Amino acid sequence: MAAEKTAAADPRAQSMPTSDITLVVTQVRSSIGCKANQRATLKSLGLRKIRQTVEREDTPQIRGMIHTVRHLVTVEEVGS
């Protein structure tokens, strides 16, 4: 029981991938006219141009970033 609590308190546990799923994120709309935080989120995801595609691990942090710019990107789940 004590081992389970220490594992949950581990700050790295949140950034671990939730599964073997890889997310393929493609920018489909321009960031012109968007808020600054949305442009920064696209940059953090590694997206700069329309139709540019990146692969990211499926973590809660990446899911939150995708949620912020969900109107600018498309997402596909690819099992590894």
Number of C-beta neighbours around residue 57 at 10 A: 16
Is residue 67 within 8 Å of 25, Cβ to Cβ? no
Mean pLDDT within 13-39: 89
Percentage of the chain lying above the pLDDT 70 cut: 76
CATH topology of domain 28-80: Ribosomal Protein L30; Chain: A, (3.30.1390)
Kindly report the pTM of this predicted structure. 0.78
**Structure confidence at residue 77 as a pLDDT band (50, 70, 90):** very high
pLDDT of residue 20: 87
Residues 39 and 47: their CA atoms lie apart, in Å, by 9
Does the structure show a pLDDT above 60 at 1?
Answer: no
Give the start-end residues of each E strand in 1-80. 21-27, 53-57, 73-79
Per-residue pLDDT tens over the stretch 31-70: 999 999 999 999 999 999 999 999 999 999 999 999 999 9
